[in-house]
C-alpha cells in the first residue's frame, strides 16, 4: 500500500523541489564565484516561474519554463516582466500569467527598496546572457 502511495505522488509537482531547481538554474545562468547572486522570491504557476535575483548593484527577474529536461530559462527582464500582459506575450498561459503577477507583487512588497531598485536597473528583455558576466568583469 505504501508503495502505491509513493508511486502515485511521482507525478505531483513539488514546489520545494522546483524552487530549489529554479534557484540552481538562476545561479548557473547569472552567478559566478566572483559575482555571486542573491535569490529573491520565486513564484511558480503551472509550468512557468519567475525568480528575482540581485547581484552587486544590479539584478533582474528570470522567467523559467518547465520542459522535458527541467526548468529552462526563457528570458530575463526588469520591471516589465512583472505585468501579466507581458508574461502572456512571453508564452505564459492567461491564468498562470495573472497568478504569477499577483503573487510576485505580494512577495516583492516585502523586499527592501534597495533590492527593487537593483532589479529595476535591468532595462529591456534579454534571452542570451552569455555577455552579462563579461560586462560585470569589465567594471
Q: Reduced to 3 states, what is the DSSP secondary structure of residue 139?
A: coil
Q: Kindly state the DSSP code that residue 66 receives in the 8-state scheme.
A: E
Q: Which three cell numbers stand for residue 101?
A: 503577477
Q: Which residues contact 8 (CB under 8 A, 6 or more apart)?
A: none
pLDDT value of position 118: 94
Q: Which three cell numbers stand for residue 118?
A: 537593483
* Stretch 11-28: mean pLDDT: 84
| Every domain of the chain and the residues it spans | 38-129
**Is the Cβ–Cβ distance between 82 and 92 less than 8 Å?**
no
Predicted confidence (pLDDT) per residue in 81-129, tens digit: 999 999 999 999 999 999 999 999 999 999 999 999 999 988 777 764 4
CA distances from 121 to 57, 60, 66 (A): 8, 8, 27
* Stretch 36-59: mean pLDDT: 94
**pLDDT for 69 beyond 90:** no
**Is the Cβ–Cβ distance between 50 and 62 less than 8 Å?**
yes
pLDDT value of position 14: 76
Q: Reduced to 3 states, what is the DSSP secondary structure of residue 87?
A: helix
Amino acid at each position: 500500500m505504501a508503495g502505491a502511495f509513493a508511486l502515485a505522488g511521482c507525478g505531483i509537482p513539488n514546489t520545494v523541489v522546483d524552487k530549489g531547481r529554479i534557484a540552481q538554474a538562476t545561479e548557473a545562468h547569472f552567478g559566478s564565484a566572483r559575482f555571486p547572486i542573491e535569490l529573491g522570491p520565486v513564484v511558480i504557476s503551472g509550468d512557468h516561474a519567475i525568480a528575482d535575483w540581485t547581484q552587486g548593484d544590479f539584478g533582474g527577474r528570470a522567467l523559467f519554463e518547465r520542459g522535458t529536461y527541467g526548468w529552462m530559462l526563457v528570458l530575463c527582464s526588469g520591471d516589465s516582466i512583472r505585468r501579466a500582459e507581458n508574461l502572456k506575450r512571453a508564452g505564459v498561459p492567461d491564468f498562470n500569467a495573472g497568478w504569477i503577477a499577483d503573487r510576485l507583487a505580494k512577495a516583492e512588497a516585502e523586499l527592501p527598496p534597495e533590492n527593487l531598485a537593483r532589479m529595476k536597473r535591468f532595462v529591456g528583455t534579454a534571452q542570451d546572457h552569455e555577455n552579462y558576466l563579461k560586462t560585470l568583469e569589465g567594471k
